[in-house]
Structure 1
Amino acid sequence: MRSAMLLPVLFALQALCTSVGHAMQHYPAVWGHYDVCKSQIYTEEGLAWDYMACQPEATDMTEYLRVTLDPPNITCGDPPETYCALENPYMCNNECDAATEELAHPPELMFDIEGRNPTTFWQSTSWKKYPKPLQVNITLSWNKTIELTDDIVLTFESGRPEQMVLEKSLDYGRTWTPYQFYATDCLDAFTMEPKTANDLTQQTLLDIICTEDYSRGYVWKNDKTVRFEIKDRFALFAGPRLHNMASLYGQLDTTKNLRDFFTITDLRIRLLKPATGATMVDENNLSRYFYAISDIKVQGRCKCNLHANSCVFDKGKLGCECEHNTTGPDCSRCKKHYHGRAWSVGSYLPIPKGTANICIPSNHGPVHRANASSLGVANRNQARVCDNAMLRCQNGGTCHHHQRCHCSPGFTGILCERARCQGPGDCDDQLSGQASLHHHPIGHQRTLTLVVFPLLFVSLC
């Protein structure tokens, strides 16, 4: 009888092991489990929470930005204008008319779905006021701190700019610092020696460089991207294929300047000189010179200080769904009444779970700050075992000071998850916690099943 009851559970566990194995085989193990904030563990006292560092998954951050242009009237089409091809000054059949949808090129077309035919793109007015510089500032704002996880890529429909600067802000656009300079001639444009990302080392990773790699090849279809190489910088610590992420996480954990380098609230693209394709500008055909961008890619995640594994976009604003008793848009402070120790950012270390550094209730007794070596014991002692944000006491139990459940008659255990044995034979058909599984939501059934058979689960996988 007991074996028959276990068979469905065993098959479910085998299926789970298989799916987990397939899901993980494409990723290095050292990436850690930073999308998980807590899990249940079985201690001598019963079920308890084990807290981990966590962060949201990386995603396409262009879905959540606001774009502004300076000057604001720099977009083509008002009045309508005809453009000539840069490589052929006599081919002048490209029109821009803001009043006609098919011929308009507004800024939002830098962020729409690619793959359409014809290509959609934003386009500036032409350089009709030459020799006055044709300059445009494109500002991308998130109103939220985000962390970059992949290269920033700009795809131009026009020729790539001969001079350009990519800048970042960490204070919502109040101040700006350069990320990288781009020019056909770095010495002439910015009095800087040309370099590439491959010239950087661990010691010079934070250096601001000027590169000539992305300011040439103005006519070639496959040569119209401009990049800011995030992954090449990651690789300086994590290796060429990013297989040693533990090393990178360790550096990010201990070097604030390095974390800040990959953190932004805003990006600004300063277009300073359009592609000309020659040493001299053809003043008789200025309709050849303009900027046009078909796509901008910015991959990243909400910065939640390793205190949240999800970020929501609500009422036009991004915000972390904070855990570990933290609060704020970036989970950057403890909740009210949870100042039992000073707030601290979560830690990537030790790999793979990190250190949660949870905020604890203010009315606790003497508190010792958790570190990597004391994480398990410290977090179990500080865990809010029962509350509405985590897991309610089961089978009618009530939570007392977040630390223990007062159980209804007939039930016991730290979460009242086990039926109390009243006499001989009453528990014959029970396996730890099995009687209460029928009363749980589906999500809790799976969690408790894995806790009940820890050794069996490991052996199956």
Structure 2
Amino acid sequence: MHLLLVFVLQALWVSWCHATQHYPASWGHYDVCKSQVYAEDRLAWHYMACQPEATDMTKYLRVSLDPPNITCGDPPEMYCALENPYMCNNECDAETEELAHPPELMFDSEGRNPTTFWQSTSWKKYPKPLQVNITLSWNKTIELTDDIVLTFESGRPEQLVLEKSLDYGRTWQPYQFYAADCLDAFTMEPKAVHQLTQSSMLEIICTEVYSTGYVWKYDKTVRFEIKDRFALLAGPRLHNMASLYGQLDTTKNLRDFFTLTDLRIRLLRPATGATMVDENNLSRYFYAISDIKVQGRCKCNLHANSCVFDKGKLGCECEHNTTGPDCARCKRHFQGRAWSMGSYLPIPKGTANICIPNNLGTSVRPNASSLGVANRNQARVCDHVLLRCQNGGVCHHHQRCQCPAGFSGILCEKTQCQGDSCEELQSRQTALRPPPAAQTLPLALLSLIPSLLATRGLTSL
């Protein structure tokens, strides 16, 4: 009996472990852009997709307020507690350090006592709306990896909109609406993120979860739930990240949803409590934010594993012969094929999709090790999977294309003809060219390329 109980407990323990553990292999490892391998007894580079680690992106932003004079303290002002209109002992004075509440206190270290926070002026011009735009700018494209969290020192706003920009603040689009009454504030039916499905995961919703009366005393946060949306594709504990990565690879709208250059917090109506606004004591109504969390990474299109902050500006340290702030184009002389972002697939290393040289001159070999060993025989112009040779050319030792009669060039892209034979060659070239639908290999086939090459003892580009 005891032995049976031991077996049962052991089985339950194993089941619980499998249910609760994370599976690292399903996440993928994109921290290394390339590694050195031996191929055909020579040292060569093996390239992989890579991206910077996620970090606290508030360390690199610039904050601006509209209107610019909305911060309290000029002139000094007394504030009362929302829940007790007779408790008025909170003074804001911009000229006194311990009484000032400037915008940078939204991003300083938490855990201090007393708490540090930014604070607006009070609603002294009621019934004119007390509205504030807080804009966070990175001057760089970033990708969100965790929830955006706003922590209020005052009551949570009764109306708030979170917006983002993908073009450095020129245009804006909503991320989420927040209200105590969504129908009244934005003519939208209230909805919570857990009500979304895979097909509606990019829907812009209005939620009432974070805007309720006096609950702010116990929960002061307002969230934009990134991970809950990830979970719609990756599972409730984000176990199946391969599914999410596959969708990110193939769906531009999904990638763009979690990408931004600027974030804007539009505070539209402060907390007023359970009763009507007390016009005789407007110093009870204001905004105060003690912390903003934005977790993410520089967007480098899977072509860099580090991002540097230099002279007040973020920039990817591009690999794979790419360049630009987001590694979004090929370097000069490395435009032998169209630029492409890296691929998360196949898990766990992805596909690099490096830029290749325009020609095979000695100055632009793609494989040169950091140890100074030139790997000149590994400069692949073609292979039997990607079929880069044109006009019926045949790939020879992954180094050059053997061209049919009448064609020349590195990829057999040049037509050699004289007189009447030109028309015949051009018609043959048209017949040999694959139809448009066949020119792009399916993603699933591309994801198998590294493994196919590996089985042949080769390294992928």
The TM-score normalised by the length of structure 2 is 0.75
- Does the alignment pair 1:254 with 2:250? yes
Paired with 1:305 and 1:181, the residues of 2 have a C-alpha distance of 29
Deviates more, 1:118-127 or 1:213-222: 213-222
Q: Which residue of 1 aligns with 2:67?
A: 71
Q: Which residue of 2 aligns with 1:133?
A: 129
Q: Which residue of 2 aligns with 1:281?
A: 277
1:290-315 Cα deviation digits (max 9, x unpaired): 00000000000000000000000000
- TM-aligned CA distance change 1:187 to 1:383, over 3 Å: farther
- Does the alignment pair 1:215 with 2:246? no
Contact 1:392/1:399, CA 8 A, preserved across alignment = no
Q: Which residue of 2 aligns with 1:297?
A: 293
1:333-363 Cα deviation digits (max 9, x unpaired): 0011100111101111111111100001111
Q: Which residue of 2 aligns with 1:8?
A: none
Q: Secondary structure at the match of 1:105?
A: coil
Paired with 2:53 and 2:23, the residues of 1 have a C-alpha distance of 14
- Does the alignment pair 1:167 with 2:163? yes
Contact 1:217/1:223, CA 8 A, preserved across alignment = no
Q: Secondary structure at the match of 1:313?
A: strand
Q: Which residue of 2 aligns with 1:423?
A: none
1:242-279 Cα deviation digits (max 9, x unpaired): 01000000000000000000000000000000000034
- Aligned sequence identity (%): 86
- Does the alignment pair 1:323 with 2:319? yes
- Mapping of residues 82-231 of structure 1, within 5 Å: 82-218=78-214, 220-231=216-227
Contact 2:37/2:43, CA 8 A, preserved across alignment = yes
Q: Which residue of 2 aligns with 1:384?
A: 366
Q: Which runs of 5+ in 1 are unaligned?
A: 1-24, 366-381, 405-461
Q: Secondary structure at the match of 1:50?
A: strand
- Does the alignment pair 1:314 with 2:310? yes
Query: Of 35, 38, 48, which aligns to 1:39?
Result: 35
Q: CA deviation at 1:384?
A: 2.5
Instruction: In structure 1, give the amino acid aligned to 2:262.
Output: D
Q: Secondary structure at the match of 1:284?
A: coil
Instruction: In structure 1, give the amino acid aligned to 2:322.
Output: T
Instruction: In structure 1, give the amino acid aligned to 2:366.
Output: R
Contact 2:214/2:274, CA 8 A, preserved across alignment = no
Q: CA deviation at 1:39?
A: 1.2
Query: Of 72, 76, 89, which aligns to 1:80?
Result: 76
1:399-438 Cα deviation digits (max 9, x unpaired): 769959xxxxxxxxxxxxxxxxxxxxxxxxxxxxxxxxxx
Q: Which runs of 5+ in 2 are unaligned?
A: 1-20, 381-461
- TM-aligned CA distance change 1:207 to 1:281, over 3 Å: same
Q: Which residue of 1 aligns with 2:459?
A: none
Deviates more, 1:43-52 or 1:321-330: 43-52
Contact 1:121/1:294, CA 8 A, preserved across alignment = yes
Q: Secondary structure at the match of 2:263?
A: strand
Contact 2:44/2:375, CA 8 A, preserved across alignment = no
Contact 2:357/2:365, CA 8 A, preserved across alignment = no
Deviates more, 1:34-43 or 1:104-113: 34-43
1:2-61 Cα deviation digits (max 9, x unpaired): xxxxxxxxxxxxxxxxxxxxxxx9662111121111112222232211110000000000
Instruction: In structure 2, give the amino acid aligned to 1:182.
Output: Y
Q: Which residue of 1 aligns with 2:384?
A: none
Contact 2:158/2:270, CA 8 A, preserved across alignment = yes
Q: Secondary structure at the match of 2:183?
A: helix
Q: Secondary structure at the match of 1:203?
A: helix
Paired with 2:123 and 2:338, the residues of 1 have a C-alpha distance of 56
Instruction: In structure 1, give the amino acid aligned to 2:83.
Output: E
Contact 2:106/2:290, CA 8 A, preserved across alignment = yes
Query: Of 55, 61, 80, which aligns to 1:59?
Result: 55
Paired with 2:220 and 2:365, the residues of 1 have a C-alpha distance of 53
Q: Secondary structure at the match of 1:258?
A: helix
Q: CA deviation at 1:386?
A: 1.4
